[in-house]
Amino acid sequence: MNELKTENLSCKRGENAVLNNVNFSIKSGETLVVKGRNGSGKTTLLRILSNFITSYEGKVMFNGISISEDSLYNSKFNLIGQKNSLKENLSIKKNFDLWDILFNEALDHVKLLKHNNLYHLINRDVGSLSDGQKKCISLHRLNYKKYELWFLDEPFVYLDEVNTHLLIEKINQFNENMGIVILTSNINLPKNFHKEINI
Amino acid sequence: MYIKIKNKHIELIKSANPYLIFATIFAFVIGLYYSLFQSPPDYIQGDSMRIMYIHVPSAWFALMTYSILAGSCVLWFITRNPLFNVVARSIAQVGMVFTLMSLITGSIWGKPTWGVWWVWDARLTSMLILFFLYIAYIFLWQAISNKELASKISAALAIIGFINIPIIKFSVDWWNTLHQPASISKLSAPSIDVSMLIPLFIMTGACFLFLVTVSLIRFRLVLIENKMLRTSSL
Amino acid sequence: MPNLIKRDLLLSFYSSANFFFTVSFFILVLILIPFAFGTQTDQLKNLFKGVVWIALALSIIITVDRIYNTDYEDGNLDIIMQKNKTIEYLIISKYITHWFIYCLPLLVILPVLSFLFYLDYLETVQIFINLFIGSFGMVFIANFVSALTLGARRTIFLKAIIMIPLFVPFIIFGSDAGSWPILLALSMLSFVISIYVTAYGLRLYGE
């Protein structure tokens, strides 16, 4: 049973306070939806949770240990940022090869792409795809298995209805396998997600 | 962490500006009068050496300004007081002007003295590199859109440049040396006449006033700019 | 760390054009010598010893965007930094791959070129040793400049203005045959500075 928890988390970017006393606690099998206006610090929150920003006030604890002191924490989360992490001048297949090495895990990409109806694109250069297709390919990283936490920054942007449902299904499935999901989004999601905070 | 400078300090700097500008102009007029009319011509170089009165102070201040710049960047990293960053950013442009000035006047002086506009020796070359270090510092700050990040990054670059300058001086020295030995650095036994020292010191004072005046104007602008960045981000 | 090296090598293999472009660029800069200065044998020899350093410096300058900038812009740098908790390992891997991909080919092609410019065996060896040691120092410098300028996009000229003054000592000592110990010292100094500054830059941009 894992638990990710923040206590009085505040963060300043320059002279501006971006996050002010953010408190939440989330356990295995739950999903937290972070809402807020543009520039309210949703991305900052995810970057704090993934140990990129280390200058903040308050506490972020994973299973009772501060995340900056837990040496194994970095290998437990999978962060999907707003950038796609794809090389535009390479084909999807080559991009997947590069990811496999970085993530140190070989996936059966053909099967997974067939499931998403993207298999016919596998030899196309990423630069020639539409934004929605790029986003789908980018979210393909969620198939890497060894992670206990998912941090998704605006995952639904550019996605059509079918793919939005597929992603929600995937998140639910991850929750059933006791995974924790934190995602930022401004669209109204179905009520089956567990928790919601406004910052 | 905020800059502990209130509006009244900024107003004080603003009200001092006209006096400083006047004092600078006055000092330059006096200094130029002394250096052009009240000092004897050099008995070897003749009247051409009079350009020394502007060349030497600007070279000194080019180096001194860069030392202050790098020093305040170091102090900023140590103390985290943003005032040091404002100081560094306010004097950079003046330093660049001094460097350019010393390069141009040096060239003009070099033509009658050595017969060429430029000599590839350690001092001239490192001065030229110093000019590009100023340019790199100023333009790197402008190129990065996140201004807080830009200040940190360009401060790091300024410190690296400070390490680089002696290395370049050493390497070019090792390569070849054509320049006359430094004659003003040892003030206890000056090898130039007192009648020449008086205008040199007045001109140095005038350059110093110029540095202070322009830096203070820039200082005020940078403070206002920082304030605008702070309020405009939401 | 081995994963990152493997990944960078695979990336450069996939976009192999990059690698051929640098080698071709290096050769073409040197080919300009006889066009610009004529074909007198003795003169060519001396010019080659100096211009080879300029060609190396320019080749490294045009590759500086490939070290961290492309990965930063498409978001891969986040993954890389997450997987390599000890940032120094990450930086050293990048040194190794950058040198391996962009400097080693130039060193391999160097003996052929020095043959074209009538250098004898001993001179070739001397220049090879100097370039070998000096290229490491220049790679260290290019790495930290790349890390510092991540936020300044499409500014290759600015990067060149920052880097060339830092290359000056290498070029001064490099064209002198016996000065490899000084080059070694310079390379070591730039390694020490570079590893701190690169880590500083990467952490700042990670935020």
At A44, which CATH number? 3.40.50.300
B230 touches chain A (CB under 8 A): yes
Q: Which residues of C55-83 are buried (b: 16+ CB within 10 A; e: fewer)?
A: bbbbbbbbbbbbbbbbbbebbbbbbbbbb
Higher pLDDT pick, A145 / C164: C164
- Checking phi first, is residue A39 left (phi over 0); if not, alpha (psi -120 to 50) or beta? left
Contacts of B149 in chain C (CB under 8 A): 151, 204-205
- The beta-carbon neighbor of A74 closest among C7, C14, C85 is C85
- The beta-carbon neighbor of A74 closest among C6, C7, C82 is C82
Contacts of B135 in chain C (CB under 8 A): 161
Separation between Cα atoms, residue C167 and residue B86, nearest integer Å = 29
| Straight-line distance from the first to the last Cα atom of chain A, in angstroms, rounded to the nearest whole number | 26
Contacts of C193 in chain B (CB under 8 A): 160, 163
- Backbone φ and ψ for A89, nearest 5 degrees, come out as -90, 5
Is A174 within the bounds of a domain?
Answer: no
Q: Give the residues of chain B that fall short of pLDDT 70.
A: 1-6, 43, 175-192, 229-234
* Predicted confidence (pLDDT) per residue in A96-137, tens digit: 999 999 998 888 888 888 887 888 888 889 999 999 889 999
Give how far A165 is from chain C: nearest CA, Å: 25
Mean pLDDT of chain A: 87
Is A169 within the bounds of a domain?
Answer: no
Classify burial at A168, counting beta carbons within 10 Å of its beta carbon; exposed 0-12, middle 13-18, buried 19 or more.
middle
Joined tokens for residue C126: 């001397």
Choose, out of B141, B164, B173, B177, the residue to mutate when testing the contact with C (most C CBs < 10 Å): B164
B174 touches chain A (CB under 8 A): no
Give how far C6 is from chain A: nearest CA, Å: 7
- The beta-carbon neighbor of B129 closest among C148, C158, C168 is C168
- pLDDT value of position C6: 92
Contact B234 A14 (CB under 8 A): no
Is A122 within the bounds of a domain?
Answer: no
Q: For residue A12, give the chain B residue with the closest CA.
A: B1
- pLDDT value of position B229: 67
- pLDDT value of position C163: 95
Contact A39 B234 (CB under 8 A): yes
- pLDDT value of position B230: 66
Q: What residue segments make up the domains of chain C, in order of their start?
A: 2-206
Give how far B43 is from chain C: nearest CA, Å: 37
Residue located via tokens 């141009």: B104
Contacts of B147 in chain A (CB under 8 A): 14
Residue A42's identity, in one-letter code, is: K
Is A92 within the bounds of a domain?
Answer: no
Joined tokens for residue B205: 């004072």
Contacts of C75 in chain A (CB under 8 A): 81-85
Contact C70 A53 (CB under 8 A): no
Contacts of A15 in chain B (CB under 8 A): 2, 230
- pLDDT value of position C137: 96
Q: Which chains touch B (3 or more CB pairs under 8 A)?
A: A, C
Contact C75 A103 (CB under 8 A): no
Contacts of A57 in chain B (CB under 8 A): none
**Could you give the ipTM of this predicted complex?**
0.89
Report the domain count for chain A: 1
CB pairs under 8 A between A and C: 69
Joined tokens for residue B215: 């830096």
Q: pLDDT band at residue A192, thresholds of 50, 70 and 90?
A: low
Separation between Cα atoms, residue C204 and residue C207, nearest integer Å = 6
Nearest to A63 by CA among A3, A137, A127, A131: A3
B135 touches chain C (CB under 8 A): yes
Contacts of A14 in chain B (CB under 8 A): 147-148, 229-230, 233
Contact C14 A86 (CB under 8 A): no
Separation between Cα atoms, residue B113 and residue B178, nearest integer Å = 12
Contact A84 C14 (CB under 8 A): no
Question: What are the residues facing B42 on neighbouring strands?
Answer: B46
Q: For residue C15, give the chain A residue with the closest CA.
A: A90
- pLDDT value of position C135: 95
Q: Give the residues of chain C that fall short of pLDDT 70.
A: none
Separation between Cα atoms, residue A46 and residue A44, nearest integer Å = 5
What are the residues whose beta carbons fall under 8 Å from the beta carbon of B43, sequence distance 6 or more?
none
Residue C206's identity, in one-letter code, is: G
Q: For residue C84, give the chain A residue with the closest CA.
A: A74
Q: How many CB atoms lie within 10 A of CB A167?
A: 19
- pLDDT value of position B188: 43
Q: Report pTM.
A: 0.90
Domain housing A2 = 1-76+148-157+180-199
Contacts of A52 in chain C (CB under 8 A): 78, 81, 206-207
Contact B171 C172 (CB under 8 A): yes
Contacts of B152 in chain C (CB under 8 A): 204
- The beta-carbon neighbor of B156 closest among C151, C158, C200 is C200
| Straight-line distance from the first to the last Cα atom of chain B, in angstroms, rounded to the nearest whole number | 19
Contacts of B229 in chain A (CB under 8 A): 14
CB pairs under 8 A between A and B: 12
Choose, out of A10, A12, A15, A16, the residue to mutate when testing the contact with B (most B CBs < 10 Å): A15
Contact C151 B171 (CB under 8 A): no
Is A84 within the bounds of a domain?
Answer: no
- pLDDT value of position B61: 94
Mean pLDDT of chain B: 84
Q: For residue B228, give the chain A residue with the closest CA.
A: A15
Mind giving me the DSSP string for C100-134? IIIIHHHHHHHHHHHHHTT--HHHHHHHHHHHHHH
